[in-house]
Structures are given as structure tokens and as C-alpha cells.
Structure 1
Amino acid sequence: MRTAEELWREAGDIRSTVPDVIDVTNDSHSSFLYVLRNLYKDIILTNLDYALDKKVEQDLWNVCFKVPISGLQPKQGKKNCNPILKLFLEGAAGFYMFLLQEICAQCDTNSTICKRNAQLGIFNGARCQSM
């Protein structure tokens, strides 16, 4: 298993190749986002203290979600519904809910959300690994 430091270096290499304007309908841009999002998630789950020190959660939000969402939002106050934006927002919410569940499972927390999923057998509640 790779360390958080190794994952961070790999994420940095990928981050440096991500364009400033991200088009989620472009396959190569979506691929960057997918790989980067999973690297950031792995860093958080591998070593939460390291991830917080490096502000991985901020980079995850800003690069993988905020920039693409901003590009999909209507310009000049237009109120038209963009189905791609809606789908992307739903995916972002799902990603963060699942990440929270994985953190809860690793740390065996007693939050309401984690208790509910443990009752359903979704996560086994393994203890945190030297976070």
C-alpha cells in the first residue's frame, strides 16, 4: 500500500496537468478529475492527519468540484436548468457522503449517519489505522 506522501506526490503531478478551465463533458478532463478525486480520497483515508496538514480536502473541493461547478453554472443570472450541472452536483454530494461513510467506518465513530449504515451492514466499522 502506498503512503500518503507518495499519493500526495502523484496527485501533485496530476494536478499540474489539469487545465484551468475544466469541461466535465470532455473525456480527458473527466478522467483527470476521476483520478485526482480518488487519489485525494485515498490520502484522506490513509493518513487523515497528513491530509489535514496538506489541506487535501480544500484541494479536493476546489479542483475536483468547485471549478467544474463554476464552469457549468449559468452566466449573467440566467435561470435555465442545466442537466449536466444537476448531475454533477448530485455526483459531488454522493462522493462526499460516501467519503464520510468510509471515514466513519475506519474510525468507528458513533455519529447518527454511521450508526444507521452499520445497522444496514453497509460498513463493518473497522478501527482507524494510525490516523
Structure 2
Amino acid sequence: MEQAVTSDANFKTALMAHMAITDARANNDDKVRAPPVLFYKGERIIHLDDFADGLHLTKKTVRKYRDDGKLEVFESVTGNIAFVTQEAFNNFIDNNFISSRHPDYTKLKKKHNKSGRNAE
């Protein structure tokens, strides 16, 4: 009998969660919907707006990274659709960010901060 009560409670919890998600989607709550997962030649792609929003960058900054050769961007011929591949995203992170676990993290951050102050 104990198992039946537990299973019943699990079912009710799952049902309530499902109903809440369904209700949020019905109310057109875009925060609940995940962007579609798309692939180009077997590699996941990331819409350029999602890339910029995720890293808190402006579109102007993203264009600068593209123009400086720091980021490979695929654009439609008309220019109104753009994306980066997962590999391009990974390369961008690897080449422009440093992990706090890197053995030289403190030294490299201090070096960057000093060069930034001298440039002002």
C-alpha cells in the first residue's frame, strides 16, 4: 500500500508540472520555450542573436570580432540571418577567455588589468 501512495504522489507531481508547462506555453510565455536545435554539416549552430545575448555583447561588438577575424560567422546572402557553429563558438571562447582554474590565471589577469590602465 505504501508503494501505491508514493507512485500516486509521483504521478500527481509529474502531472502538475506538465500542466504548468502546458499552461505557460498556451499563454505564449517565450521564456519556457527553448530555441530549436539546428545543425549544419553535423555541427550544432547558434543563432547570432543568442550568441550575443548569451555573452552580453552588442551586435556592433560581434561584428567587430567578425571583422577582426576572431569569430567565424555564417550569414545569409541577404544578410538578415546569421549564425556561428559550435566549433566557432568554442574557438572564440578558447582564444578570448581564461578559466579561473588556469595555473597562470592571477598573473594573466593582473597583466591585462595593468595594460588596460596604462592604455587609458
TM-score by length of structure 2 reads: 0.23
Q: Which has the higher helix share?
A: 1
TM-score by length of structure 1 reads: 0.21
